[in-house]
Structure 1
Amino acid sequence: MSKKQKLKKTLVEQILDKAKIEHLGLAINALEEKTLPDGIERSDIYKTLALIGDKTGPIIGMLPLTEHLSEKKLAKASGNKKVSMIPQKDLQKTTGYIHGANNPVGIWQNKKFPIFIDTIALEHDFIVCSAGELGRSIQIAPSLLADFVQAQFIELREL
C-alpha cells in the first residue's frame, strides 16, 4: 500500500472496528484489477459465493479466486444432498449484496447464513475478501474472520 488515501469506512469495516477485530481496508476491485498491491497475490483474494442447499437454504462458500468450488464437497459439509449457485437476479434479495460485493461479515450480521471457508486459507497469514462494496476489500487473518462469522474450515475446492 504505497500512498494512503483516506477512504470512508464501509459498513463491514465499521462492524469489524466496533468488534475490535484486526483488519486492513483496501481499495481493490478483485473482479477487475490486473495489478494488485505489493504483497497480495490473486490466490490471496477470496470470492464469497452464495449458494442454496436443497435442505438448508442459503449457504456461503469462500475460496481463492484462483480455485473452483466443488459443489459436491460443500453440499456434503453443509448437510445438503446438493447445492447450486443463487442466480444473480436473486442475489441481492437473498444476501443483501450485489455480485462482487458479497462478504462474510455483512451476510453473517444480517442473515446468519452458514459460512464455509476453504481449508487452504489456514496456510496463510491473511486473506482478502470483499468489504461489502464494489472496489473495496478487507485483509484479515482467516481464523479471526472465521471466529467472528462462526465459519467452518472445510475443503471446498476442486482438486
Structure 2
Amino acid sequence: MAKKTLKKTLVEQILTKAGITHQAHHFNGLEGQTPDELDRARIFKTLALKGDKTGPIIGVLSIEDHLSEKKLATISGNKKVQMIPQKDLEKTTGYIHGANNPVGIRQRHHFPIYIDDRALDFTSILVSAGEIGRSVQLSAQDLADFVGASFANFRKKGEE
C-alpha cells in the first residue's frame, strides 16, 4: 500500500521557498507522542507572551524545560511578561494553542522572537509546522537567521 503524502503546511512551503533545509514530521510532541529515535529535549514549543513594555513576544523553548518569565522579561526589555490567554492566542498570533510556530508568526507579525540557547546544543531542533500534529526539523541557527530571533537562556533555574 502506498504511503499517503500529506500536503505541505504553509510553514513547510515557506521554508522550502526560502531554501531552508528542513524535514517534516507527523506527531504531537506536546502530548508526548514522539518517535523513539527523537530526543524530546530537541522538540521546542513556541510560547506567545505579552510584555508590559513591548507587547507580544515569542519564546521558543524545549518541551523538557520550563519558562522563566523573569529571565525572558529582562532579556526582552520588559519589567514583566505573561502568557497570552488561550482565548486571545489565535487573534494575536494567527494560530491556535499547539500550532504556534516562529516561522508563521514572523510572516504575519514582527514580534520579537527569542530561542532558548539550549537549541544550540543540537544539530537540529523541531518546532511546530503550524498545524497540530505536524512539526519541522531544522537547524536552530537557520531558524534564528530566518525569523530574526535572538538566542538567550530563559529556562528556570535548575535547568541550566
Is the TM value for this pair above 0.5? yes
Name which of 32, 43, 56 aligns with 1:58. Answer: 56
* 1:16 match: 15
SS at match of 2:136: strand
Paired position in structure 2 for 1:149: 147
Task: Give the Cα–Cα distance (whole angstroms) in 1 for the partners of residues 111 and 22 of structure 2.
Answer: 22
Question: How far is 1:30 from its partner?
Answer: 1.1
Corresponding residue for residue 138 of structure 1 = 136
Measured after TM superposition, the shift of residue 33 of structure 1 is 3.6
Alpha-carbon separation, structure 2, partners of 1:79 and 1:94: 20
Report what 1:79 is aligned to.
Answer: 77
Cα distance in 2 between the residues matched to 1:154 and 1:16: 23
1:4-153, aligned counterparts within 5 Å?
A: 5-34=4-33, 36-153=34-151
Total equivalences in the alignment = 156
Indicate the percent of aligned positions where both proteins have the same amino acid.
63
Measure how far apart 1:28 and its partner are.
1.4
**C-alpha displacement at 1:6, in angstroms?**
1.3
- Give ranges in structure 2 of 5+ residues lacking alignment: none
- Shift of residue 112 of structure 1? 1.2
What is the rounded CA distance, in whole Å, between the counterparts of 1:23 and 1:39 in structure 2? 17
Amino acid at match of 2:83: M
Q: CA offsets per residue over residues 59-80 of structure 1, 9 Å max, x none? A: 0001110100000110011010
How far, CA to CA, are the matches of 1:41 and 1:5 in structure 2? 26
Unaligned runs of 5+ in 1: none
The answer on whether the counterparts of 2:67 and 2:156 sit within 8 Å (CA) in structure 1 is yes
Q: Which amino acid aligns with 1:48?
A: T
> TM-score, normalised on structure 2?
0.94
Q: CA RMSD in A?
A: 1.3
